[in-house]
Structure 1
């Protein structure tokens, strides 16, 4: 009888822990959503154009990203008179790189692993908002310190098993850091992006400063110049050009 009661107690304790953890996760997600802007406003966004600037080895570079939500994504970067284009069109992708950067100067089909990695960029919002929309599993792991400030650490697991760690400020409920692993050219690499300087655009919040891993090594700071919501975008810009 004693063993039975102990087993029952442990079972109830486990169930309570799961419920409390689920409630905590939902609470953090709810407060994060409220901080970023209402779900209705995010749902109303059908297209977006964002312009950024950053520096690599002393070169000032500008980029333009165009998104038709759920349909297509295209980023154009101009470096020393050469244009680099990355585009996702539905379930396929293509890119164009100059010869000096390992490309052919012609549109190339993007490898499947890179298409998978970039597919989420057809959607907009934070890493958590997109993960919820895509049906990923989100779990609250802990509350800890990051650079001296309290943060919530959440683990996001996608259908394919890929995991990312998302750090949410305990005071603002904005995402301040995302880490994970991604496959590139057959190799698994660590990724890290730090977010700050959140600003409102039509009632929705975007991080205007992002610090990310530089392809040249170290970290690179990307500053957002403008965010345009619901501009007219021609869907043809996402299609791979034919020769």
Structure 2
């Protein structure tokens, strides 16, 4: 073999090895990613100090053709109430940490109805003020770092979260700011596998904590997704437990 070719070959191998070693050195650990996510949100102290969060805005559905007024209240340790209003009617979904109920006037049902264990699964996740990574051990979840994956042109950090109820969420963190940009949740509802993709963006600081003001979600692969646009948010407002 030509000596020059041999030299080029080994130089190339050395460069590839050095590049791989550099990438490995730069790759954060799972604990570091969680810590960076907490810090990016505002820090552990600010998160603990946020006891309730009230948001108002609009819900956009039917590929942008229909807008509803939107209001949501969250309260620790895991309560949430969401309202969707149009033409004098208001749909309600609420969860008090144990049970959920709903009012569905757009389906002709104006009295409160108890929600099934499967139907409250999205509410249980929505009730998390901090997101799925903060206090994951206390929530009895397990987490795993799966490397990086492209999210609409962004090489995001991908973390798998296995919740104690069996639901799985894949959390994608922005590589620069370490905030969630997408959450893909897999769950079984009414005997069928369901995949829900949620894109979050437009973070603003409320009560010392960064929260997303744009949340777009729907079944994975479905172009008709609903979008929530927050116009106003308030931290630590007084909340009566009776609303849940």
Q: Same fold (TM over 0.5)?
A: yes
CA RMSD of aligned residues (A): 2.3
Which structure: larger Rg? 2
- Which residue among 83, 86, 109 is the counterpart of 1:76? 83
Following superposition, the deviation at residue 32 of structure 1 comes to: 1.1
Task: Please name the residue that 1:15 is paired with.
Answer: none
CA distance in 2, matches of 1:54, 1:184: 24
Task: Please name the residue that 2:239 is paired with.
Answer: 233
Are residues 1:125 and 2:130 paired?
Answer: yes
Deviation string for 1:106-132 (max 9, x for gaps)?
A: 110111122244223333122322645
- 1:1-243 pair list within 5 angstroms: 24-57=29-62, 58-98=65-105, 100-101=106-107, 104-129=109-134, 131-213=136-218, 218-238=224-244
* CA shift in 2, pair 1:149/1:121, >3 Å: closer
TM-score by length of 2: 0.80
CA distance in 1, matches of 2:213, 2:41: 13
Find the residue that maps to 1:190 and give its secondary structure: strand
Following superposition, the deviation at residue 133 of structure 1 comes to: 4.4
**Contact residue 120 and residue 130 of structure 1 kept, 8 A:** no
* CA shift in 2, pair 1:49/1:130, >3 Å: farther
CA distance in 2, matches of 1:114, 1:206: 25
Deviation string for 1:85-141 (max 9, x for gaps)?
A: 11112311111112x42x521110111122244223333122322645413111100
Say which structure is richer in helix: 1
CA distance in 2, matches of 1:41, 1:68: 15
How many pairs does the alignment contain? 215
Q: Gapped runs of 5+ residues in structure 1?
A: 1-19, 239-243
Following superposition, the deviation at residue 186 of structure 1 comes to: 4.2
**Contact residue 117 and residue 182 of structure 1 kept, 8 A:** no
**Contact residue 195 and residue 207 of structure 1 kept, 8 A:** yes
Find the residue that maps to 2:29 and give its secondary structure: helix
* CA shift in 2, pair 1:224/1:108, >3 Å: same
* CA shift in 2, pair 1:76/1:120, >3 Å: same
